[in-house]
Structure 1
Amino acid sequence: MERAAKKEAVEALNGLFQTTGVAIVAHYSGLTVAQMQKLRSQMKQAGAQVKVSKNRLAKIALEGTDVVAIGPLLKGPTVIATSKDPVAAPKVAIEFAKTNEQFVILGGSMGKTVLNVDGVKALAALPSLDELRAKIVGLVVAPATKLAQLSSAPAAKLARVIQAYASKGEAA
């Protein structure tokens, strides 16, 4: 790599690390090209991305970012999965690691918090941001529908009582 290309790669990685919510580091040696493409597409669908870079350049790009704690994990053939949503990248990485034993998660960082493998698994177990939003909307809408049902129920009961008296009067 030429010096200009290295500088450009470092700047691109630094920009990525500045804006990411979570970064997961894993070893990927032994994965086929098809498996890597599958990982990339799964990450893209989840709103995350995967970067393979020279470890030395990645360590330089980490300086001055919140995820600088992943620096010591960058040894050997590593891949870095990042996402703005703190749950997206860990969830896909854990699922991918279950089906591909060559993909070994080393740890990661969520902001300035260092994550070990168990921390990454814990993040993956959380519901995603979209799932949380759906639950909140459901909780907000539920009382409104119950309130509407309750406010219309007394009127319906009153109409049934009047109807019953009217039919009783006609029968008599």
Structure 2
Amino acid sequence: MAKTDKSAAIASLKEKFSESDATVLTEYRGLSVSALQTLRRSLGADTTYAVAKNTLTRIAAQQAGIEGLDDKLVGPTALTFIKGDVATAAKGLRDFAKDNPLLVVKGGYMDGRVLNADEVKKLADLESREVLLAKLAGGLKANLTKAAQVFSALPAKAARGLGALQEKAAADPSVIGGAGEASDQEPENTPA
């Protein structure tokens, strides 16, 4: 590979590292080209699956400010650059690996930290972003509904309490301090 080609490859990898929300490293040894194409399609439009030389990947990662991937860059390595929903892409990798055991997840990088293979698998067990947001919205709506019910119950309880007091006062005027029933006479206006 010519020096200009290497520089271009490093720049491209660095850009992908910088733009991605997460990166997952896999070993693809033994997978056919058609299997890799199937994997790429299953990961979705926001995810890029690329095979790159380990030395170029190491240099690009360092230039992007990512440290700690060196021990994972051994043997044939493919990089999954994920933009958007990380859990969905991790599920795609996990599901593909179930059907194709030659795909091995080595680890990854997300939110400034290096992930081991088990942590990437845990990401795959998360529900998708949309599902989590829907659950959050449902929880918030339920709490708002409860609050609305409490606030609407207060005036109704007060009205019932005042109605009961009025009935009791009509039966026993001493309940409200002996005021009894209202008179038909108007109060006298006395100048002060």
Q: Same fold (TM over 0.5)?
A: yes
Instruction: Indicate conservation of the 8 Å contact 2:27/2:76, yes or no.
Output: yes
Classify 1:62/1:135 alpha carbon distance in 2 versus 1 (closer, same or farther; 3 Å): same
CA distance in structure 2 between the aligned counterparts of 1:102 and 1:40, rounded to whole angstroms = 15
136-145 vs 96-105, which moves further:
136-145
Change (3 A) 1:27 1:65: same
Q: Match of 2:7, as an amino acid? A: K
Do structure 1's residue 82 and structure 2's residue 74 form an aligned pair?
Answer: no
How far has the Cα of 1:81 moved from its partner?
0.8
Please tell me whether the aligned partners of residues 87 and 123 of structure 1 are also in contact (alpha carbons under 8 angstroms).
yes
Whole-angstrom distance in 2 between the partners of 1:124 and 1:6: 33
Counterpart AA for 2:12? A
Is the CA contact 1:22–1:89 (under 8 Å) kept in the aligned structure 2? no
- What aligned pairs does 1:90-129 form with structure 2 within 5 A after superposition? 90-129=90-129
- In structure 1, the residue matched to 2:176 is none
- Looking at structure 1, the residues matched to 4 and 115 of structure 2 have their Cα atoms a distance apart, in angstroms, of 33
Instruction: Identify the range of structure 1 (95-104 vs 66-75) with the bigger mean alpha-carbon deviation.
Output: 66-75
1:8 is displaced (CA, Å) by 1.1
Whole-Å Cα distance in 1 between the matches of residues 88 and 65 of structure 2? 18
**CA RMSD, aligned part only?**
2.4
Unmatched segments (≥5 aa) in structure 2: 157-192
Q: Distance in 2 between matches of 1:86 and 1:136?
A: 18
Rg larger in structure: 2
Taking the TM superposition and a 5 Å limit, the aligned residue runs for 1:19-168 are: 19-45=19-45, 47-84=46-83, 85-143=85-143
Q: Contact (CA 8 Å) 1:22, 1:67: kept in 2 or not? A: no
Question: Which deviates more from structure 2 when the two are superposed, residues 69-78 or residues 98-107?
Answer: 69-78
Secondary structure at 1:25 match in 2: strand
User: Match for 1:65: what amino acid?
Assistant: A
Q: Amino acid of the residue matched to residue 58 of structure 2?
A: K
**Higher helix residue share:** 1
* Segment of structure 1 superposing worse, 5-14 or 106-115: 106-115
Instruction: Tell me, in whole angstroms, the C-alpha distance in 2 between the residues paired with 1:28 and 1:110.
Output: 21
The 3-state SS of whatever aligns with 1:69 is coil
Q: Percent identity?
A: 36
Q: TM-score by structure 1 length?
A: 0.76
Q: Deviations over 1:43-84 (max 9, x none)?
A: 125x32211111111111101435432232111111111213
Q: Which of 1 and 2 has higher RCO (CA within 8 Å, sep 6+)?
A: 1
Q: Which residue of 1 aligns with 2:2?
A: 2
CA distance in 2, matches of 1:66, 1:83: 17
Gaps of 5+ in 1: 155-172
